[in-house]
Amino acid sequence: MAVVTKISVQKRNKSRYNLFLDRGQGEEYALSVDEDLLIKYGLKKGLELDEEHLMKLVDEDEQKKAYYLAINYLSYRMRSVEEVRAYLQKKEKEERHIEAVIKQLINQRLLNDTEFADAFIRTKKITLMKGPLKLKQELAQKGVNAATIETALESFTVHEQIDQMVKWLEKQTKRNTKQSSQAFSDKLANQLLTKGYSRQIIMEAMKNVDVSKEADAEYEALCHQGEKVLRKYAGKYQGWEYQQRVKQALYRKGFSIELIDKFLSQREED
C-alpha cells in the first residue's frame, strides 16, 4: 500500500499534477496525472492507494494523453478517422487507447468521416481545382470508405464540373503557345485528366471553348516547330526521305498537311 504524501502542479502544464508517494521507504516521485483524474479519484494528501489502483490510474492517464494528442492534431484542420488513428500509432500509443479515443471523439462529434469528406471536396475542388476521380483517390488514401466518398461526391455535379473546366480552359487559351491547335487542345485535355476529371466530361467542356489559333498564329507555331524539326533531321536524311521525315514529325505535332506543305515550299524558296 502506498500513501500520497504530496501533490504539486507542474510548472509547464497547469492541468497536470505530480504525485509523490511513500511506500514505506520515504517520499518519492511516483507519477504525473491529468487534472480530470485528480478530481475523479479524489487524490489528496494522506490517501492510500494499492498497486491495482495505481496501475489503473497510470492506464487512464495514458489514454488521456492520447486524447489530448488527438485534440491538438485536430486543431489544425479536420481529419479523417484513419488519419487520427495513424497519427496516434506514430506516437506509439497503445491500440486499445487509440480505439477508445477515436470512439470518444466520434461521440463528441469531433470526428466524422461524412463531414470530413464533404468539407474536403468542397475545399479542394475550388482551391486546387481537383476533379471527382482525384478527390476520390485522395479520400480513399485518407481511409474514408467508398460509400461515404460516393455520397459526398454527389454534391459535385456534372454541370459544376463543366462550368469549372470551361473557366479554366478560357484562361489557358489566353496563353501564347508555340504548339499547334490540336497539340495544345490535347495538352489541355491531358492536364484535366491528371486533375481527376473524366474524359467524357472533359470533351463536353471543351466543346464550349474555342482553343484553336488564328490562321497566322497557327502558321507561326508551325514555323517555330518546323525549324526545330529541320535541324533535327539535317545531315541524317536527304532528298525525298528528308522531306517525308519532316512532314511526318510535324503532322504528329498536330499540324495539317496543307500547312506543312506551305511551310516546306516557303522554306525551299528562301
Do both 175 and 248 map to the same domain?
Answer: yes
Do both 177 and 265 map to the same domain?
Answer: yes
Residue 89 domain-assigned (yes or no) = no
Alpha-carbon span 114 to 80, nearest angstrom: 9
Do both 183 and 213 map to the same domain?
Answer: yes
Residue 138 domain-assigned (yes or no) = yes
User: Do residues 240 and 197 lie in contact, with contact meaning Cβ atoms separated by under 8 Å?
Assistant: no
Do both 131 and 186 map to the same domain?
Answer: no
Do both 150 and 167 map to the same domain?
Answer: no
Do both 145 and 203 map to the same domain?
Answer: no
Alpha-carbon span 250 to 223, nearest angstrom: 10
Q: Which of 156, 184, 211 is the last residue of a domain?
A: 156
Identity of the amino acid at 57: L
Residue 107 domain-assigned (yes or no) = no
> Which parts of the chain have pLDDT scores under 50?
none
154: number of Cβ within 10 Å = 9
Do both 166 and 128 map to the same domain?
Answer: no
Alpha-carbon span 223 to 258, nearest angstrom: 13
Do both 240 and 172 map to the same domain?
Answer: yes
Residue 265: per-residue pLDDT: 87
Q: Which three cell numbers stand for residue 125?
A: 475542388
Residue 56 domain-assigned (yes or no) = no
User: Do residues 197 and 132 lie in contact, with contact meaning Cβ atoms separated by under 8 Å?
Assistant: yes
Residue 33 domain-assigned (yes or no) = yes
Do both 127 and 202 map to the same domain?
Answer: no
Residue 218: per-residue pLDDT: 87
Q: Which of 156, 189, 219 is the last residue of a domain?
A: 156
Q: Which three cell numbers stand for residue 90?
A: 506514430
The dihedrals phi and psi of 24, each to the nearest 5 degrees, come to 105, 0
Residue 93: per-residue pLDDT: 96
Residue 270: per-residue pLDDT: 62
Domain of residue 195: give its range: 160-269
The dihedrals phi and psi of 179, each to the nearest 5 degrees, come to -105, 165
b (16+ CB within 10 A) / e for 81-112: bbbbbebbeeeebeeebbeebbeebeeeeebb
Structural domains counted in the chain: 3
Residue 98: per-residue pLDDT: 97
CATH code of residue 127: 1.10.10
Residue 198 domain-assigned (yes or no) = yes
Residue 95 domain-assigned (yes or no) = no
Do both 43 and 134 map to the same domain?
Answer: no
Do both 151 and 165 map to the same domain?
Answer: no
251: number of Cβ within 10 Å = 15
Residue 34 domain-assigned (yes or no) = yes
Do both 250 and 169 map to the same domain?
Answer: yes
Q: Which three cell numbers stand for residue 157?
A: 455535379
Residue 177: per-residue pLDDT: 81
User: Do residues 80 and 113 lie in contact, with contact meaning Cβ atoms separated by under 8 Å?
Assistant: yes
